[in-house]
Structure 1
Amino acid sequence: MKNKSLKVITSWLLVSVISFAAQAAEEVRLKHAHFTPYFENGFDSAELEGAVEVKNIGPNKQVWLHYQTASGEWLDHPAFYVGASHSGYENFAFRLPLEGSVAATQFAIKYQVNGQTYWDNNQQQNYQFNDYQQTNLAHQAVALDDAYRASSLITLTARARSQSSEDKVTMIYSDNNFQTSYRKELSLSHIVADEHGLSGVWSGQQYIEYYRHISFYLEYSDGQTSHVDNYYGKNYRLFDTGEQLGRGPLLQRYPQVYFRGGPTSWNSIPMTLIDDYTWSIVVYFDGTTDYKFDVYDDWSRNFGDNNNDGIADLNGANLTVNSAGSTRITFNSLSGAYQATLLH
């Protein structure tokens, strides 16, 4: 893995931190998490993904995945805001690629707001995954694992509770903002242990013309009740070939960052993750032109710069390029640092 200088290092072991930090059941809870070890790489890499629900008790908040590395060091990795939950709560999500010995992984959730720190540490036991126990779906019945688009072929995997022989997981997708929709049932790949029972790993492929922009969500049914993972009201999307959700070696704060500006008539263009937390795109500017960074392609979380200090601000003023030509735009979503470099 590349640059690690941006990760926030925690100097105490978790047990010593939690001894004086606030314990929280109402303030923060893990909704789901799943662990994907990659056996084809000698079981030396993995992903840890999940979602967190926090009580909205202050406007300035931070949510962290607090995890232990193979060397025993405890680190913090940022979870990112996704959207509102039920009344008075908000959803955050995280995805962490891991390297080294990942046969045993443990973590907790840290929520900082109003000068206070709250923990969900699984009742002081930490959450622990290994090559056998790989899921925790206590508060969410189905969750996307990975999705990838290669031209006209979409491949995805999902996790869902294993309740009965009637279990089904379905991808529901649309190319017109769900004015019409289509259904693709996924196949059960294998069963893994869940802290609360068993979970199924589901997978499937669907051919969809490469030029069609696809949005989708997942539906799980056990024959009696149905549950959905619609990315907390935003739906998942795979617009361009090569786009992927999950699985990759670089650290991310957000699953995708989009460029918007004058050169694209303010339409969104996905940027490329080139290093830990760092996104890049080359754009041709024909003169003085404004632009911004957009996380969800709906302006709900966008970045500009209010004081022109090179550090992006949430909902900040438009950024500006003052020279014509092909320009490389980079944006570090953890530090907020951005740069525009004229190439020719």
Structure 2
Amino acid sequence: MAKRFHYLLLSAVLGFAAVAQAADEVKLLRARSVISSKYGFVHQNATFDVKVRNLGYDKQVVLHYREPDGAWQQTKLRYSHPTGPDSEVWLGHVARLDQRNGQPMSPASLEFSISYQVNGVEFRDDNHSRNYRIDSNEGELLFDRVVYNSGYGPVLTNFYGNTLYGNVVLKNIAPEKSVQVVYSVDNWQTVKLANANYSPYFWTGWYSWLPNPSPAGFEVWNYELDIGDANRVDYAIRYGVAGQEYWDNNGGRNYRVEIMR
């Protein structure tokens, strides 16, 4: 134990990060990969949601992914919002575009892992040394979650109208289910309910099409919240299926959207 402590201390002093297998310090929550096609251009768009424990102010979260030729690339994730008492959600993005320049970047399945550097230590979520994989047009994947509020952002700018739109990703446990958004526009003095809606076909982005549920068995449901002229909305997601209730309430904090009109 003393040798390990001295190694970690020396690594921090010299500016190197000691690598440790993550327990709950960093964890992949969600991944999505979609292929779109318009005017002959093919575009693959992959997004990633990652949770990290807030162990220090100065931190870096990186997605490592393998190209079809075997070369490893990396891209930094950006901070999104706090979740739970001591954790944060960070977002990543990988885009592959066929530019018809003689060297097309064809859509490809992605092998990837996540690293989190803080306080001189690097934590890795590499799926227990197996890495993660997602097919080029696999759609939504959830990891250790049954329901997830997809595409959340804490602030909406240039907002018009009185309807807030959003998506829920859930594991298709049984055919009969209910998905609701419990929300408030007055700091929970009053509570409203909105039913989310399911469609067997899920369209997203640039002329893309996906079956719903996805090949891996995850569904996308859409919701619309009537918020009137409110400038803030608090909400959580309830998923009822097979006699059980599952919630995504942002780790107990609930979701909050500040609206800039």
Separation of aligned partners in 2, 1:117 and 1:103 = 28
Q: Given residue 77 of structure 2, which amino acid in structure 1 is its aligned partner? A: P
TM-score scaled by structure 2? 0.67
1:34 equivalent to 2:31? Answer yes
1:239 equivalent to 2:236? Answer no
**Where does residue 21 of structure 2 map in the other structure?**
24
**Where does residue 173 of structure 1 map in the other structure?**
183
1:134 equivalent to 2:139? Answer yes
1:160 equivalent to 2:160? Answer no
Query: Once the 2 structures are TM-superposed, how far is the Cα of residue 235 of structure 1 from its aligned partner?
Result: 1.0
**Where does residue 73 of structure 2 map in the other structure?**
74
C-alpha contact 1:37 1:102 (8 A) present in aligned 2: no
C-alpha contact 1:66 1:75 (8 A) present in aligned 2: yes
Q: Given residue 143 of structure 1, which amino acid in structure 2 is its aligned partner? A: Y
**Where does residue 64 of structure 1 map in the other structure?**
62
Alignment of 1:261-272 (within 5 A): none
Separation of aligned partners in 1, 2:51 and 2:231 = 32
Q: 2:118 aligns with which of 110, 113, 116?
A: 113
Separation of aligned partners in 1, 2:87 and 2:232 = 28
Separation of aligned partners in 2, 1:240 and 1:81 = 17
**Where does residue 218 of structure 2 map in the other structure?**
199
C-alpha contact 1:65 1:108 (8 A) present in aligned 2: yes
Query: Once the 2 structures are TM-superposed, how far is the Cα of residue 222 of structure 1 from its aligned partner?
Result: 1.8
Residue 30 of structure 1 aligns to a residue whose secondary structure is strand
Query: Once the 2 structures are TM-superposed, how far is the Cα of residue 46 of structure 1 from its aligned partner?
Result: 1.6
Deviations 1:295-320 (A, max 9, x none): xxxxxxxxxxxxxxxxxxxxxxxxxx
C-alpha contact 2:231 2:258 (8 A) present in aligned 1: no
**Where does residue 48 of structure 2 map in the other structure?**
49
Separation of aligned partners in 1, 2:197 and 2:246 = 17
Separation of aligned partners in 1, 2:73 and 2:94 = 15
Question: Taking structure 1 as reference, are residues 160 and 118 closer, same or farther at Cα in structure 2, changes over 3 Å only?
Answer: same
Per mean C-alpha deviation after superposition, the further-off stretch among 116-125 and 231-240 is 231-240
Question: Taking structure 1 as reference, are residues 104 and 60 closer, same or farther at Cα in structure 2, changes over 3 Å only?
Answer: same
Question: Taking structure 1 as reference, are residues 225 and 175 closer, same or farther at Cα in structure 2, changes over 3 Å only?
Answer: same
**Where does residue 208 of structure 2 map in the other structure?**
none
Query: Once the 2 structures are TM-superposed, how far is the Cα of residue 212 of structure 1 from its aligned partner?
Result: 5.2
Residue 192 of structure 1 aligns to a residue whose secondary structure is coil
TM-score scaled by structure 1? 0.53
Q: 1:96 aligns with which of 90, 93, 96?
A: 93
C-alpha contact 2:28 2:114 (8 A) present in aligned 1: no
Q: CA RMSD in A?
A: 3.2
Structure 2 unaligned regions, length at least 5: 1-16, 98-105, 200-211
Structure with more relative contact order (C-alpha pairs < 8 Å, separation 6 or more): 2
C-alpha contact 2:185 2:230 (8 A) present in aligned 1: no
Question: Taking structure 1 as reference, are residues 236 and 129 closer, same or farther at Cα in structure 2, changes over 3 Å only?
Answer: farther
C-alpha contact 1:23 1:120 (8 A) present in aligned 2: no
